[in-house]
């Protein structure tokens, strides 16, 4: 059986935005549901949002992963110690999700080696205790998150989780950048560690999920490392900055405030149409360029569909199209096809 890569749409939006996304998908008759796999952080989501997700799960096939909230520890919203009991209490009361992430303490690129080691040891120690306190019904759905900046550290976490028999392993130690280290980036060293984790976990029969990386241009890498799934909120965050996605293509700013900054590199309407033809993408949300430029929610849903399309191309092994897009897309990613998919 050919391996399939699974994309979890990370929903960190407010309830009204979830409803807007659902309505736009329904009104425009989008048949391939891009919200059939969802990641949500219960402790930082409103009860209304959680009820919307639970309602979605009862009405259509939906896989729901509960995130621990380690990201909010990473950016300083709460301490790691303060995460434990509220998360455990929520899990004990809510048995309807498919995957339950154990509490992890995310190292950042700015941490000292000693502090990274401390975070790794705390992650393994408290994830084990947390797992043992979970209801027996939820233990087959538990995911332990591997953290670390070297092989010894990630292997310490892996041994802890595999000795417990966990069916899911998460990898969260990608590089970080930005204010409060809130942005994950796939550095060469972190990708090497991620591949090492995948190899050991797969040998033990566990599936591996990559946390917080997921722009279309990285799809070949995600598949090539052997990851089983990944999550991303980039489709909604980028839309807020005026950026749009296309399958296997870097993000470009399509709004009227685009500029020459590399991270916010703009694209003309003419060039956008060229890339649409290259990627064979079409959707109702990018047919009207004025709406795409001015309406954030149009960009949100367009981006979401583009990530879904990207993964569908990967899983269907549509290699001629993928190779052609990488060969003619951003120079930064032109080697991705040969390195990861060839």
- First vs last Cα of the chain: how many Å apart? 18
Residue 270 clears pLDDT 90, i.e. is over it: yes
In terms of DSSP bridges, do strands 142-146 and 175-177 run parallel, antiparallel, or are they unpaired?
unpaired
Nearest to 109 by CA among 45, 185, 41: 185
Question: What pLDDT is stored for residue 181 in this prediction?
Answer: 40
**Residue 203 — pLDDT band, cuts 50, 70, 90?**
very high
For the chain, list the domains and their CATH numbers: 6-239 (3.20.20.105), 241-341 (no CATH)
Structural element, H or E, at residue 246: strand 243-246
Give the pLDDT mean for 106-111: 85
For 3, counting Cβ atoms within 10 Å of its Cβ (0-12 exposed, 13-18 middle, 19+ buried), the class is exposed
Give the pLDDT mean for 314-337: 88
Question: What pLDDT is stored for residue 311 in this prediction?
Answer: 95
Give the span between the Cα atoms of 18 and 97, in whole angstroms: 18
Give the pLDDT mean for 240-249: 94
The first and second tokens of residue 201, run together, are: 């976990």
Residue 1 clears pLDDT 80, i.e. is over it: no
The first and second tokens of residue 222, run together, are: 């995600």
Query: Who's near 88: CB < 8 A, 6+ residues apart?
Result: 130, 133, 134
- Lowest mean pLDDT, pick from 54-68, 174-188, 257-271: 174-188
pLDDT tens-digit series, residues 31-41? 778 899 999 99
Q: Tokens 């080691």 correspond to what residue?
A: 117
Q: What percent of the chain has pLDDT over 90?
A: 72
Give the pLDDT mean for 276-293: 94
pTM: 0.92
pLDDT tens-digit series, residues 145-194? 999 999 999 999 999 999 999 999 999 877 544 444 444 456 778 889 99
The first and second tokens of residue 301, run together, are: 């849903």
Cβ atoms of residues 245 and 264 within 8 Å: no
Residue 264 clears pLDDT 50, i.e. is over it: yes
Give the span between the Cα atoms of 333 and 141, in whole angstroms: 35
Give the span between the Cα atoms of 119 and 156, in whole angstroms: 12
- Which alpha helices (DSSP H) does the chain contain, by range? 15-27, 47-59, 70-74, 84-93, 113-133, 151-164, 188-203, 219-224, 234-240, 269-279, 289-294, 296-315, 319-328, 336
Question: What Cα–Cα distance (Å) separates residue 32 from each residue in 29, 83, 308, 309?
Answer: 9, 36, 9, 9
Nearest to 156 by CA among 176, 128, 185, 132: 128
Q: Please tell me which residue, 187 or 103, carries the higher pLDDT value.
A: 103
């Amino acid at each position: 059986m050919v391996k399939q890569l699974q994309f979890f749409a990370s929903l960190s939006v407010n309830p009204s935005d979830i409803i807007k996304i659902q309505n736009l998908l329904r009104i425009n008759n989008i048949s391939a549901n891009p919200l059939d796999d969802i990641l949500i952080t219960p402790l930082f989501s409103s009860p209304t949002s959680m009820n919307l997700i639970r309602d979605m799960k009862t009405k259509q096939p939906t896989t729901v992963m509960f995130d621990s909230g380690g990201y909010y520890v990473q950016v300083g919203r709460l301490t790691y110690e303060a995460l434990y009991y509220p998360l455990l209490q929520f899990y004990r009361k809510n048995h309807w999700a498919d995957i339950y992430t154990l509490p992890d303490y995310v190292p950042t690129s700015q941490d000292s080696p000693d502090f990274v080691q401390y975070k790794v040891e705390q992650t393994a120690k408290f994830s084990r205790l947390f797992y043992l306190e979970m209801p027996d019904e939820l233990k087959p759905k538990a995911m332990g998150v591997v953290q670390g900046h070297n092989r010894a550290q990630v292997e310490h976490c892996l041994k802890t989780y595999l000795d417990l028999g966990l069916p899911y392993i998460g990898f969260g130690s990608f590089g970080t950048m930005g204010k409060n280290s809130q942005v994950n980036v796939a550095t060469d060293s972190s990708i090497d560690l991620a591949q090492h984790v995948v190899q050991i976990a797969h040998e033990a029969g566990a599936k591996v999920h990559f946390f917080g990386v997921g722009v279309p241009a990285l799809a070949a890498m995600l598949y090539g490392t052997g990851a089983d799934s990944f999550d991303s909120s980039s489709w909604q965050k980028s839309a807020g900055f005026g950026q749009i996605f296309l399958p296997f293509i870097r993000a470009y700013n399509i709004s009227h405030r685009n500029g020459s900054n590399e991270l916010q590199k703009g694209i003309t309407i003419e060039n956008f149409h060229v890339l649409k033809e290259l990627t064979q993408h079409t959707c109702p949300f990018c047919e009207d360029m004025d709406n795409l430029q001015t309406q954030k929610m149009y960009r949100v849903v367009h981006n979401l569909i583009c990530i879904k399309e990207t993964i569908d191309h990967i899983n269907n092994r549509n290699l001629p199209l993928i190779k052609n897009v990488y060969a003619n897309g951003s120079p930064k990613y032109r080697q991705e096809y040969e390195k990861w998919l060839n």
